[in-house]
Structure 1
Amino acid sequence: MNGDIRTLLSRHLPDYRVRSVRPLGEGLDNMVYEVNDELLVRRNKATTPDENRQEVARLAALRELSPLPVPEVVFADDESGVIAYHKLPGEPLNRHPAADLRHGAADLRRLAEPLGEFLTALHGASTARMREVAPLDVYPAPTLLRDAELDYRDVESHVPEKQRPLVERFFEEPPPDEPRSLRFCHNDLGAEHVLVDAEAATITGIIDWTDAAITDPSHDFARIYRDLGPEFFEATLSHYDFPLDDADRARVLFYARCALIEDLAYGLSTGPRHYADAALAHLAWTFA
């Protein structure tokens, strides 16, 4: 695969000297390679040429919209599903949980303000304009709940026995009402997609916009809740300019629980184990 990446680099950047190519990570949809410690080359496993072109256009629109850095495209190869970016500084936030940040949990809370302002700008974008560069993503809550239960039944033996009743109660509860309005969202805003400078406790970028869509804004808050906990969710919300009522909060919690089960199943099957480890570590606060 490294040879394929070198071939693409030679084709699109003929004067660029490639000194190193190394796999950086793999998710549900993408494989990412680091080139010369300065470029990231992302290959989508299932995208179409039109979807690849749409993502490039989306990133261009985001660079005007987002108050936080987003990837700058160097080149795209639509037939192979590849997009190359300049590497943003920082490390994914999931590698720097609150206990590991140099100055402790207070520094994590400092990230809430820029994240809340970022989500305000994102969700406040013109839906009509962003519909040109992002698909509509509407997945009914009853279907999400059914899928989550199917995933859970495959992996429930890995959940500590004392925590299983928390998850079982979730499946007994009715799904929340559907959202009243849809907005432009990142749609996969887990801690692994928030880059931070741990020394300065600042956000240095938001990455992986493959799943960005016109959808329920509660999806963006759900992964914040799942990965960083209810206190950080509330801190982020205090810097968010749009109201979240009780129905919105119910969907945040619902989506967070579904997303945690999805990560647990993925990490215990075909995905990296750290997805499952994080899901188990965050299960108590997500299902409490």
Structure 2
Amino acid sequence: MTGDIRALLARHLPDYRVRSVSRLGHGLDNFVYEVNDELLVRRSRVADPQANRQEVARLAAVRELSPLPVPEVVFADDETGTIAYRKLPGTPLNQHRNGNLTPAALAEPLGAFLSAIHGAIPGTMRDLAPLDVYPAPTLLQDAELDYRDVEQHVPEAQRPLVERFLHHDPPDEPPSLRFCHNDLGAEHVLVDPATSTITGIIDWTDAAITDPAHDFALIYRDLGPDVFELTLEHYEFTVTEEDRERILFYARCALIEDLAYGLSTGPRHYADAALTHLPWTFQ
């Protein structure tokens, strides 16, 4: 596969000298490669030319909206479902090991970022992002199926917390939808290891017109209630009790999904993080 990446680079960047190509990882939909410690090349498992063009246009729009850096497209190859970006500085937050990182250092930029993204007029983004209206009852059913597959891996003392959630009624549907990152987990927030400041937001593949509670849910799940509450203080829109209910609901569903993914076909670190974050997500 690295040979295919070299061929794409030669086609689109004929004067660019390729010294190294290495595969960084993969998700459900994509493989990601690093080139010369300068470029990241994302290749879809199944090429969708329309989706590829849409993502390139979406990133251009997001770069105009976001107060935080987002990837800059160097080239796109719609036929193979490939997009190459300039590599942003920083380390994914889930790999950050600097103990100086404080909730305040994350909350203020995240609050400003979400205010800007969620503030986009949904109608202007409809051609750039799909509509995501997956019903809450279906999410809960999916979560229960996933949990039954991995129940034995959850500490026995914490199982009643999860099972109580699974037997609750799902929340009402959101009153309005906004443009969202829609996958704002810690692995997609880059931070400077030296200064512990946010240096970028990556992976906009799942961006959609959807419930903004989805973005806050992953902040709650991955960064905890303290960062979540501080982020709300820097968010310019009102968050109601009904919004909070949906945020917690999505956070719990997403944690169960990550636990199942990390224990089956995905990288193990997803499951490890889910088990670490389970106590505060299901408190």
Structure 1 residues 46 and 144, CA gap change in structure 2 (3 angstroms): farther
Q: Report the RMSD for the aligned CA atoms in angstroms.
A: 0.9
Partner of 1:72: 72
Name the SS of the counterpart of 1:32 in structure 2. Answer: strand
- The answer to whether the 8 Å contact 1:135/1:214 transfers is yes
Name the SS of the counterpart of 2:198 in structure 1. Answer: strand
1:278, CA displacement in angstroms? Answer: 0.2
Distance 1:91 1:25 in 2: 15
| Alignment match of 1:213 (pick from 208, 214, 219) | 208
1:51, CA displacement in angstroms? Answer: 0.4
Partner of 2:168: 173
- The answer to whether the 8 Å contact 1:101/1:108 transfers is no
Could you list the per-position Cα deviations for residues 130-173 of structure 1 after superposition, in whole angstroms to 9, with x for gaps in the alignment? 11211101000000000110011111111111111010001110
Partner of 1:261: 256
Distance 2:230 2:279 in 1: 19
Distance 1:47 1:152 in 2: 31
Is 1:31 aligned to 2:31, yes or no? yes
Could you list the per-position Cα deviations for residues 242-269 of structure 1 after superposition, in whole angstroms to 9, with x for gaps in the alignment? 0110100000000000000110000000
1:1-288 aligned within 5 A = 1-96=1-96, 100-104=97-101, 107-288=102-283
TM-score when scaled to structure 2?
Answer: 0.98
Name the SS of the counterpart of 2:117 in structure 1. Answer: helix
- The answer to whether the 8 Å contact 1:102/1:198 transfers is no
Distance 1:108 1:24 in 2: 28
Distance 2:20 2:193 in 1: 26
1:184, CA displacement in angstroms? Answer: 0.1
Name the SS of the counterpart of 1:229 in structure 2. Answer: helix
Matched letter for residue 103 of structure 1 = N
- The answer to whether the 8 Å contact 2:10/2:16 transfers is yes
1:47, CA displacement in angstroms? Answer: 4.7
Count residues in correspondence.
Answer: 283
1:200, CA displacement in angstroms? Answer: 0.9
| Structure 1 stretches of 4+ moved >6 Å | none
- The answer to whether the 8 Å contact 2:47/2:79 transfers is no
1:25, CA displacement in angstroms? Answer: 1.8
Distance 1:108 1:27 in 2: 28
Distance 2:252 2:28 in 1: 18
